[in-house]
Structures are given as C-alpha cells and as structure tokens.
Amino acid sequence: MSIFKKINAEWVLRLSLGAMYLYSGIDIIRHPNAWSWVIRDLPTTLENWIVDFGIERFLHFQGIGEVALAGILILWFLPKKLVKYVGLFSALEMVAIVLLVGIDAVTFRDIGLIGSGLALFLIL
C-alpha cells in the first residue's frame, strides 16, 4: 500500500487526461475521415461554418490542438497555472460536446472527463 501513498493525484489526472488527448489528437491527425461524424452531429450553423472552412482542415487543427493540450498536461516542467487552466478548458470542452452533440452512447466517458478536468483545475 505504500506505493499508493507516493502517487500524487495531480499526476494521475495529468497523465490520464494527457494520454487521452495524445491518443485522440494523433488519431484525428492520422484518420480525419473517421472523425467527421462528429461534425454532422453539431448544430447546423456550426456545422456549416466547419464545412465552409473545410472538415479535414478543421479536424487537422483539432488534432494538433489536442496534441498540444497533451503536451501541456504531460510535461512536468510547465507552469502549474497553465496546467490548471488546461484542466478547466478540458472540462468546458467536454460540457460543450455534451450540450452540442447531445447525450449518446459515449456520454458516460464525457462525464468522467468533465470531472477529471474540473478536479485538476480545483487541486492546482
């Protein structure tokens, strides 16, 4: 049990959120067409804006942004204040997804990510 006393809750949250963003960001960059379904589930005005911008281009930028968020969460030497606000941003992003896309088969995942991001924000 002593190993669990040495594990810092902040780092569990940072590494798990960071791994999630790294995985999804790389996958979006590598396979943008596999993620285009998300765009079709958005409200029409937002979907039209993204279509005008270019779905693949939008998803490419989304993937790059998620890899950047992963880096901020995982890199230990970055300021905690920056990590704190990435936690808040993560929680707000997941709330936006639930509100814009709606409740579906993976909403349970989004609820956990909202809690993780909010917890990271609150403990830092």
Residues 6+ apart with CB under 8 A from 20: 70, 113
The phi and psi torsions of 102 (rounded to 5 degrees) equal 100, 175
Q: Work out the mean pLDDT of the chain and round it to a whole number.
A: 93
- Res. 5 pLDDT band, cuts 50 70 90: confident
How do residues 35-73 score in pLDDT, each as one tens digit?
998 888 788 999 999 999 999 999 999 999 999 999 999
Which pLDDT score, from 0 to 100, does residue 1 have? 57
Number of helices (H) and strands (E) in the chain: give both, helices first: 7, 0
pTM higher than 0.85, yes or no?
yes
Q: Which of 35, 71, 36 is nearest to 51 (CA)?
A: 36
